[in-house]
Amino acid sequence: MSRARRPRAKRAPVPRALPAVSKAATGIQGLDEITGGGLPRGRPTLVCGGPGCGKTILAMEFLMNGARRFDEPGVFLSFEESIEDLTLNFASLGFDPRPLTARKMLSLDYVRVEPGEIHETGEYDLDGLFIRLGHAIDAIGAKRVVLDTIETLFSGLSNTRTLRAELRRLFNWLRAKGVTAIVTGERGGNGLTRHGLEEYISDCVILLDHRVVEQNATRRLRVVKYRGSSHGANESPFFIDQSGISVLPVASLGLKHRVSASRVSAGVPGVDEMLGGKGYFRESSILVSGSAGTGKTSLAGYFVDAACRRGESALYFAFEESSAQIVRNLQSIGLDLEPWMRRGLLDIHAERTTTSGLEGHLNAMHRAIEAIRPRVVVVDPISNLISVGTSVEVKGMLARIIDYMKVKRMTALFTSLTVNEGRPEGTDIGISSFMDTWLVLHNIDMNGERNRALSVLKSRGMAHSNQLREFVFTNAGLTLVDGVRDDRGRVLVGSRRAARDMEMTAGGNGRRRSRES
Amino acid sequence: MSERPKRKTRAQPVRRRQAANFYDLRLYVAGQTSRSLAALANLRTICEEHLHGRYRIQVIDLLEHPQLAKGDQILALPTLVRRLPEPIRKLVGDLSDTERALVGLDLRPARRDRR
C-alpha cells in the first residue's frame, strides 16, 4: 500500500476507570490501545528482546511521535550506533531526524563504549553519564528519553557492583527528572535481560519477540507488567514496515463496541427487502458466500456503490482481481465505480494473497484502514486470505482484524468462496460467529440451465426473509425476481419461471406470486 | 616503584621524541568532591614521581562545562585521559590503585597477575 498516512490529530487516551497512572502516548499504532493510553508518564519503561526484535525502532518511533505529534522533545542516547547510523535508521522509517534536531525537538547522542579501552584505577561513579544526559535533556527541555542499550556499559566497565548501584541511581534520577524513558535491554541470561535490568525498572516492561512460525517470520509484543495499570497480557503480533511499527490491537478488544440501530442499503432493493426491508445494520459485518461465479463480487460492488452514493468513503480489498478488472466487470452489469474512485470516495486495493504472508496482508489492511478511515470496507474474497494462513493462531488474527473493523465502526462486507456447494454452512472458516448477516448465493443447476439464487442464512437482530430468491444479471444491473411457484408450490427459476410468469400475465387470473413474508 | 622504566628511545627525530615523552593529561571531575580531590592528589603524586617536568594536567569540572563530556566520551568520573603521548588512554577511578594507574599510563608494563 503506497498511500501515505494522513496526519492525524492527537488521539485521546483510552479512558480508564482509575486514572491512577498518567500515560504518555507512544503514537505507535496499537501499542497505545494495549497499554490503555501509552507508557507510564515520567517513568522508565524497559523494552527488551533478542537481537533484531525491533527494540530500537520502537524506541525511535516513540521519540519521533513525541516530537512531531505530542510536542514533547526527546533525547536518544545510543550506546551501540553512531549518529550517522541512527540517522539512516530513522530515515528508513520515513523519518528524517535532521529537521527535528534543528528545531531542538530531538537530540541524538552516541556514547561510545569500547570494551577493554578503559583502565579502572579505583572508585568511580557514572556522574559523567548523568551530566551528559542531564545536559542533553536540559538543552532541549526533553520530556522523553531513550537509552539504547545501556547494558553495553557492562562490556566497558568491569566493576559490576558499582555499575549496578549506578544504574539504580540513574533510573531513580530519571524518575526524579520526570522524563518518560525507554530503556532497551538485550534478552539473555536467566531473566528478561542479560544483566537483569528488570530488577531496577519495574514500572513497565515490554517484551518483543521475533520468531519463525511455518516459514513466516512473525513478531510479537507482550506487556509483561505495567505497575498501576491494567493492560492486555496477551502476545500481540506486530509489524515493521516503511512507516514504522504497528501492533495489531488485539488484546484490548472486547465485545464492548457500540451497536447501531440505523441501517444501510445493500445497494440492491430486493436484498434490502429480504432484510426486513431496510438493509444491513450499520457497523455490522456481512458475509456473502457462494461458489464460483455466483455474483459475490457484484453484490459487493452494489454495496460499495450504495455507500458512495450516500457520500461515505469505501475501501475495497481485492485479492482475486485487479482494480481495473473489477471496475470493467461491474460496468458490464451497469455499475460504474469509476466516478467514485475519481472523487476519492472509493479506494480499491488489489493484491494477490500469495505475494506476502497473512501477517503482511493484515498489516497492509490495517494501515490502509487507519489511513483512509472508511465507513464501509469490502474484503473480496476473505477465503483467499484464509488459504494463506494455516495455523489456528493466524485465523485468530484474522478474526481480530474483523473485530477491529467493528470497533472502528465500519460496515464490513466479506465475500467467501464456497467449496462445498451442497452445504453452504460448511464454508464456516471460523469467522462466521463474527458475522451479523450471512447471505448465501446458490447456483441452481436444473433443466439444462444454471440459475442464481440468494438466501439469508442468518441476520442478527432483524426480521429477515426465509426464502430463496432468484436473481438475474442484466445490462441494467442485478435484480432479484419475485419468487414464482408452480401449482405444487415449488419455486420456479430461470426459463421455467419466465414461462410461468408469461403464462400468468397472459391469463391474468390470480397471480400467485409469493412475495416477501 | 621509583625506577622509571626505559621507554623505547631508538634514533628518532628530536621533535618526535619530545612528543613521545611529553604527557598531556586531562582529569575530568564533577565538583570538589572528596573523590575528585583524591584523584587529583593521586595524579599529582604519580606525575611528580614518574614524569617530573614533562607533563601537564588540565582539570575539567563537568559541572561547569557539561558540554565537554561528549568530546572525550566521558561516562565515569573521575576519568583521566592521556591525550599525549598517543594513543589516547582512559583511566577511570580515583587513581588510588597506583599500580593500575601506572600500567594504564604506560609507565609500567602490565603484570600478568594484575590484568
Q: What CATH number has the domain bearing residue B23?
A: 3.40.30.10
Please tell me which residue, B66 or A18, carries the higher pLDDT value: B66
Give the pLDDT score at B101.
87
The model's confidence at residue A507, banded by pLDDT at 50, 70 and 90, is low
Give the pLDDT score at B52.
83
Annotate A414-437 with b (16+ C-beta within 10 A) or e (fewer): bbbbbeeeeebeebebebbebbbb
Q: Tell me if A134 and B66 make a contact (CB, 8 A cut-off).
A: yes
Residue B47 lies in a domain: yes
Please tell me which residue, A242 or B50, carries the higher pLDDT value: B50
Among A111, A119, A121, beta carbon nearest to B75: A111
pLDDT at A271 over 50: yes
Please tell me which residue, A15 or A111, carries the higher pLDDT value: A111
Which chain A residues touch B71 with a CB distance below 8 Å?
none
* Mean pLDDT value across residues B70-75: 87
> How near does any CA of chain B get to the CA of A171, in Å?
16
Please tell me which residue, A362 or A255, carries the higher pLDDT value: A362
Q: Tell me if B93 and A120 make a contact (CB, 8 A cut-off).
A: yes
> How near does any CA of chain B get to the CA of A40, in Å?
27
pLDDT at B114 over 70: no
pLDDT at B41 over 80: yes
> How near does any CA of chain A get to the CA of B40, in Å?
13
Give the pLDDT score at A149.
85
C-beta separation of B23 from B84 below 8 A: yes
Please tell me whether the interface predicted TM-score (ipTM) of this complex is above 0.90. Answer: no
Residue B1 lies in a domain: no
Give the pLDDT score at B107.
81
Give the pLDDT score at A10.
53
Helix (H) or strand (E) holding A63: helix A55-69
Whether the CB of A122 is below 8 Å from some CB of chain B: the reply is yes
pLDDT at B109 over 90: no
Which chain A residues touch B94 with a CB distance below 8 Å?
121-124
Question: To probe the interface with B, which of A113, A127, A138, A157 has the most B CB atoms within 10 Å?
Answer: A127
Among A117, A119, A128, beta carbon nearest to B69: A128
Q: What percent of chain A has pLDDT over 70?
A: 82
> How near does any CA of chain A get to the CA of B11, in Å?
30
| Distance between CA atoms of residues A452 and A454, nearest Å | 7
Whether the CB of A135 is below 8 Å from some CB of chain B: the reply is yes
Q: To the nearest 5 percent, what fractions of chain B are helix, strand and coil?
A: 35, 20, 45
Task: Write down the mean pLDDT value for chain A.
Answer: 81
Beta-strand (E) ranges in A390-463? 411-417, 437-446, 449-459
State how many domains chain B has: 1
C-beta separation of A226 from A34 below 8 A: no
pLDDT at A236 over 90: no
Among B66, B73, B101, beta carbon nearest to A131: B66
Which domain covers residue B38, as residue numbers?
18-114
Give the pLDDT score at B3.
44
Please tell me which residue, A208 or B85, carries the higher pLDDT value: A208
Whether the CB of A153 is below 8 Å from some CB of chain B: the reply is yes
> How near does any CA of chain A get to the CA of B38, in Å?
10
pLDDT at A41 over 80: yes
What domains can you pick out in chain A, each with its CATH number? 37-114+125-247 (3.40.50.300), 263-481 (3.40.50.300), 482-517 (no CATH)
Please tell me which residue, A373 or A508, carries the higher pLDDT value: A373
Annotate A402-413 with b (16+ C-beta within 10 A) or e (fewer): bbbbbbbebbbb
Among B66, B73, B76, beta carbon nearest to A112: B73
In the numeric block, which cell numbers belong to residue A489?
408450490
* Mean pLDDT value across residues A347-352: 86
Q: What is the pTM of this model?
A: 0.66
Phi then psi for residue A474, to 5 deg, are -130, 180
Residue B82 lies in a domain: yes
Question: To probe the interface with B, which of A119, A130, A151, A161 has the most B CB atoms within 10 Å?
Answer: A119
In the numeric block, which cell numbers belong to residue A23?
500515560
* Mean pLDDT value across residues A157-178: 90
pLDDT at B4 over 50: no
pLDDT at A506 over 80: no
Dihedral of the CA atoms A374, A293, A355, A395 (nearest 10)? 70
Q: What percent of chain B has pLDDT over 90?
A: 30
- Least Cα distance to A108 among A90, A130, A127, A93 occurs for A90
pLDDT at A514 over 50: no
Give the pLDDT score at A387.
64
pLDDT at A252 over 60: no
The model's confidence at residue A227, banded by pLDDT at 50, 70 and 90, is confident
